Amino acid sequence: MIRSAIKGIGYHVPSQVVTNQDLTELMDTSDEWIKTRSGIEERHWVQGDEAASDLAFPAAKKAIENAGINPEEIDLVVVATISSDYFFPGVSSQLQEMLGLRNVGCFDLRAACSGFVYALSTADQFIQSGMYKTALVIGAEAQSKFINKTTEGRDISVLFGDGAGAVILQPSQDEAGILSTHLHSEGKDMKNLWMEGPGSSGLNQINKLTIEQAQRYEPFMNGREVFKNAVVRFPEVIQEALDKNNLSMDDVALIIPHQANLRIIQSVAKRMGVNMDKFYANIQRYGNTTAASIPIALCEAVEEGKIKAGDTIILAAFGAGYTWASAAIRW
């Protein structure tokens, strides 16, 4: 069986750093509230015309360089994002042009915070089947463009940050590679974390009514409900990855969870009876970057020497939909 392996990684965040203190000038909030509830100290936000593709492009270039490949070799691009530059087409088509790629298959995937693991799993199937040899998989978000940066939107806006992370997947030549991926979703409580418009439900017409209901064009989150679900689904999907590969926690060098809230990560570690050292966290510096959080964290963990050749790692995500997913990888 062909196994796919991550041959290159790269990430990019916008230059503007927004501290919790900076936010107190925009809304009624405090460094203490944000840090205690979420662990976040600062995040990066795009400025002016900067959009998701402007973050995805440098991240992709770094991953291509890191893999030591020629962009001509890429034959599939999958971008996980819910904050594409335009309603359509997707960021992936823009990247085809920006990176000067051949006219290869490019598509965006909308699975919110689980998007990167979904995209990785999708590209993995193409490599495993032998259909493609080199896939570029990206998580890229400029969520700060959609959030309400006043006191009215403070429950959401203090949590989100912008950024992008990318990987190059190719057939593995040795034992390294993606061991398994696990995707799930449950739509019954989708309104606990959603953005209603623009959409085909009726909020597609710009008229007086929709302008008055502008808040429906902002994300909404029932934080407590989402939290309660997250702390159950993360352990489930991590355990699923362990079971599938006959692994115990002792076999795993590092778990890279989606960075939604430091308290969620701590709670998952506690529920699984695992030391927090086994979970990577960088939410303190980036906030929740939705589909970009896992590839950014993966890059930093590798840079910090926390993942070495031969290590087994698990990526785990939970987010809007709800969707949740995991991937077991031998590095």
Point out which residues bind ligand UT7 (CB under 6 A). 29, 33, 37-38, 113, 154-155, 158, 223-224, 226-227, 230, 260-261, 264, 288, 319
CB of 260 to ligand UT7, least distance (A): 4
Nearest to 279 by CA among 243, 241, 252, 303: 252
Residue whose entry in the numeric block shows the structure tokens 């700060």: 144
Nearer to ligand UT7, 119 or 179 (CB): 119
Nearest distance from residue 112's CB to ligand UT7, in Å? 7
Inter-residue contact 16 to 145 (CB < 8 Å): no
Nearer to ligand UT7, 148 or 245 (CB): 148
Q: Is 238 helix (H, G, I), strand (E, B) or coil?
A: helix
Minimum distance of ligand UT7 from residue 49's CB (angstroms): 26
Cβ closest to ligand UT7, residue 42 vs residue 74: 42
- Interhelix angle 262-271/31-38, rounded to 10 degrees, is 30
Amino acid at 289: T
Could you give the 3-state DSSP secondary structure of residue 182?
A: strand
Least spacing, CB of residue 156 vs ligand UT7, in Å: 8
* Cα gap 178→175, rounded to integer Å: 10
Q: Which residue is nearest to ligand UT7 (CB)?
A: 223
**CB-based contact 255:317 (threshold 8 Å):** no
Pick the closer one to ligand UT7 by CB: 3 or 37: 37
**Residues annotated as catalytic (active site), given as ranges:** 113, 258, 288
